[in-house]
A and B are shown apart, each in its own frame.
Chain A
Amino acid sequence: MAEPFTMFTSRIVPLPAENVDTDQIVPARYLKVTDKAGLGDALFRDWRFEEDGSLKDPPFILDQPGMAGRRILLVGDNFGAGSSREHAPWALTAWGVRAILSTSYADIFRSNSLKNGVLPIVVDAPTHAHLFALLAADPDAELTIDLAEQGILLPDGSTIDFDIDPFAKRMILAGTDELGYLLSKEADIGAWETAHPPRIDSLAGAR
C-alpha cells in the first residue's frame, strides 16, 4: 500500500524529452532486485552517471543544484513508453517524485504509477507549454497539487483543473490498495468461477 496522497507544494524538475521509455527511467540491469527499495540511484542511471559512477558533466537535470527534494516532474508527451517494469515508479518514488505533469503517458506506466501513489496528471498542450514557459521564467516556481479538488495552484494564484479517473482518485487519496478492493469481491469472483470453469489446467501437465 502506498501512503495516502495529501496536498503538497513543490518546485518542479523539467524534463522536456518526448517518448521517454522505461528503459531510460530504470535500465534493465537494475531489474535483478527482488525487492522494491533502493532504486533511487538507478533512476535515469545512464543519463546521470558515467561508467565509473561519477556524475555526468554537466550533470543531468536531477543532479543539478537545487533539484534534490523536488516532488513534481514536468515531462514530454508519452512518458513511460515501452517495458511494463514497475521499477520505474519505484525508482521515481525512491527519488521523491509524487506527481508528474505531461500531455500523455504510456498505459502501463500510468497504471503502475497510480498503484504506487505517484499521480500522473494529464494537461492539454497549451497548459503544458505554459508550464514550461513558467519554469523558463522562474526555475524555482512552485506548484501546489490538490488532488481532492483536482487542481494545480500556480504561483500567480490561478488554478489549472485536471481530470482523473474517479476510482483512481479515491484509491490514491486513501493510500492505494486495489488488491484489498479486489479481495472484497471474493463472493462475486467465486460465483463467476463456478459459472465459468477454467479453460486450462496448467497443473495437469502435458498429455
Chain B
Amino acid sequence: MTADAPRTIVEKIWTDHVVTQDPGAPAVLAVDLHLVHEVTSPQAFSGLRARGIGVRRPGQTVATADHSIPTTDRSLGFLDAMALAQVNQLEANCAEFGIPLHGIGDPAQGIVHVIGPQLGLTQPGMTIVCGDSHTSTHGAFGALAFGIGTSEVEMVLATQTLLQRDPKTYEVRVDGRLTPGVSAKDIILALIARIGVGGGTGHVFEYTGDAIRALTMEQRMTVCNMSIEGGARAGLIAPDDTTFAYLHGRPHAPAGAAWEDAVARWRLLPTDDGATYDKTIAIDADTLEPMVTYGTNPGMGIPITSRVPFPADQADPGQRRALERALEYMDLQPGQPILGQKVDVVFVGSCTNGRISDLRLAASVLRDRHVADGVRLMVVPGSDEVKREAEREGLSEIFKAAGAEWREAGCSMCIAMNGDQLRPGQYAVSTSNRNFEGRQGKGGRTFLASPLTAAASAIAGVVADPRRLAGIEAIAAVGGR
C-alpha cells in the first residue's frame, strides 16, 4: 500500500500504534488508555507480583469499581463478603502499583465505560482497552477500543502494549432519519438481529451515514457499546464537530493550544474517500421501529409490533433448535405478539443506556405518570456524576414520584453480580446489553429495549410501544449531549 492510498479510520489508528512486528507474528500494538475494574484484574496484578514487575505506565491507566458493588445506599456497605474482598483487592492493587482509582465515594466513580468519556480520557485516534467486552463503547469517539482478557490485562499493565493481528473492517451504513420513539438502541438491536451474534467476528465495525452523524455522543456510545453483541470486538464512529464539542473542557481533554493541535490531528482521522471495507451492510433508519428481543441472545430481536418467530420457519436445524430452546426458556409462544407481554421488572441503566440523556428520556416518559401495579422499576445511573446531574435536574424526583427505585451508580442488574437480580421466571424489560440465560439472575427472562420502550413498558406493566405515548415527539426530543 502506498502512503497515499485511501485508508479507513481503523487502518489509520492501527498504523499509528504498531510498535514493531516480527515476521509471522502479530503486531506489538501500543495502548493509549487502559481502564481497569475489580472483576477482571486481580489475577493480572498477581501475575505481575509473581514476575516481580511493575505497571509500566500508571499515568495511562485508570481504575474504578463498578461490576460487583452494591447500588443501595452507600452507607449500608457490602452484604457480599466476596465482592467486598474483590473491591478491597482492587484498592490494594492500585495503591501498590500507583494506579489512580475512582472507587466508591470518589465523585468520578461509575461504570468504567461511562466515566472514561465523562472525564475526557476517551479521545479520538486512541487505542483503548479494558478487561470488559463493552470497551467498544469508547469507539463512539473515533478510538479503536476493545475488550481483552485478564492475561492481556496483565500484558498491558506490564508493557502498555498488546499482541494483535490487524482486524478486518465492516462498514455499517445507516442512512435516513429515525422517527420519534425510535432511538440509537434500536439501530444497534436491528443490526444485530440482521447479522446475528457472530456476524461481525474478526471485524471492527465502522458506523457511517446520515443517521449516525445525527446522533449525539451519548447515543453514539449506545451504538458502539453493543458492537460486541454483533461479534465485533470493536466498533467506531469517525470524530466530527459533535465529538469535539462533547470533549471540549472535560477534565482530561487537551486545553488551550494543545486543544487546537489535537482537533487538527483528529480531523485527519475519518476514513478517506475511496477506502474500502472487507464487508458492508446498509440499514435504513426511516423504516426502523423500536426493537425488542424475545430470546436468549441479542440477535433474537424483532420490531416491537412483530410476532415471536416460529422455529418451524427456521431453515437451519441449529437455528431451529436454538430458537426452540430460547422460547422454552423465555416461556413464550411462537407467533404471539411481543407487545402486551407481561413485565415484572424494568431496569434502566448500564454502560449501554445509563447516561444522563438516557435518564432524561426515561424521566420524560414517567413525568406525571406511575409505574403499573406489581412492576418494579429500577433506575441505576451509570456514574456518580450522572446521579448528581439527574438529581440537579429533578429527574430523580420524577422517578421516585413514578414509583421507581433511584439507586447508586454501578453495573447492577446488567450483570447481576451484586444482588440486583431477577427472581427465577420473572420478565424484565432492560436497557442493558445481554439477554443470555440467567444474565440478570438465574432463571430470569430479559427483553432488551431502549430507555423509551423500557419506561413505556414500566407504566403499562407489559411490553409497550413508546410511539403510542401521548406527546412522543416532545418526549423523544429530550436528551441532548
Contacts and interface: CB of A to CB of B under 8 A. Distances in A.
Interface residues of B, number: 85
A68 interface: no
B233 A108 contact: yes
B149 A86 contact: yes
B10 interface: no
Contact of A116 (B46, B100, B151, B197): B151
A183 B158 contact: yes
A204 B42 CA distance: 25
Nearest to B439: A23
Contact of A115 (B25, B151, B160, B198): B151
A111 B85 contact: no
Contacts of A200: 32-33, 59-60, 121, 123, 252
A64 interface: no
Interface string B204-225: 0000000000000000000000
A180 to B, nearest CB: 9
Contacts of B131: 84, 86
A202 B325 contact: no
A166 interface: yes
Nearest to B411: A28
B123 A207 contact: no
Nearest to B262: A199
B123 A81 contact: no
A24 B438 CA distance: 8
Q: Interface SS of chain B: helix, strand, loop or mixed?
A: loop
Contacts of B57: 198
Contacts of A104: 198, 201
Contacts of A77: 198, 318
Nearest to A51: B442
B59 A201 contact: yes
Nearest to A178: B163
A107 B28 contact: no
A199 B201 contact: no
Contacts of B417: 28-29, 31-32
Contacts, number: 215
A158 interface: no
Contacts of B460: none
Contact of A107 (B24, B202, B297, B434): B202
A24 B40 contact: no
Interface string B322-341: 10010000000000000000
Interface string A170-207: 00000000110111011011001100101111111111
Interface in B214-258: 228-229, 231, 233, 251-252, 255
Contacts of A185: 19-20, 28, 159, 161
A27 interface: yes
B351 interface: no
Given A83-B133, A207-B251, A32 B148 contact: no
B119 interface: yes
A202 B61 contact: yes
B32 A24 contact: no
Interface stretch (A11-19, A52-60, A134-142, A145-153): A11-19
Contacts of A206: 108, 119, 251-252
A204 B108 CA distance: 14
B150 A182 contact: no
Interface residues of A, number: 61
Contacts of B20: 185, 188, 192
A193 B20 CA distance: 12
Interface in B51-107: 51, 53, 56-62, 67-68, 80, 82-83, 85-86, 89, 98, 100
A70 interface: no
A183 B48 CA distance: 12
A106 interface: yes
A201 to B, nearest CB: 5
Task: Among B19, B83, B297, B416, find the residue whose CB has the most chain A CB atoms closer than 10 A.
Answer: B19
A193 B442 CA distance: 47
A189 B321 CA distance: 49
A203 B154 contact: no
Interface in B172-212: 196-198, 201-202
A179 B159 contact: yes
Given A104-B198, A108-B147, A46 B437 contact: yes
Contacts of B19: 185, 188-189, 192
Interface string B17-46: 001100011101010110000011011001
A156 interface: no
Contacts of A83: 133, 434
Interface string B130-155: 01110000000000000111111011
B201 A78 contact: yes
14 contacts: A17-B321, A19-B322, A24-B438, A32-B83, A46-B437, A82-B228, A84-B133, A86-B149, A107-B201, A167-B24, A167-B25, A185-B161, A189-B160, A199-B32
Given A24-B437, A82-B229, A202-B58, 18 more contacts: A16-B321, A19-B197, A28-B417, A29-B417, A33-B42, A46-B442, A84-B133, A85-B149, A86-B151, A106-B201, A115-B152, A178-B155, A185-B19, A185-B20, A189-B56, A189-B161, A200-B60, A206-B251
Closest 3 interchain pairs by CB?
A78-B198, A206-B251, A112-B149
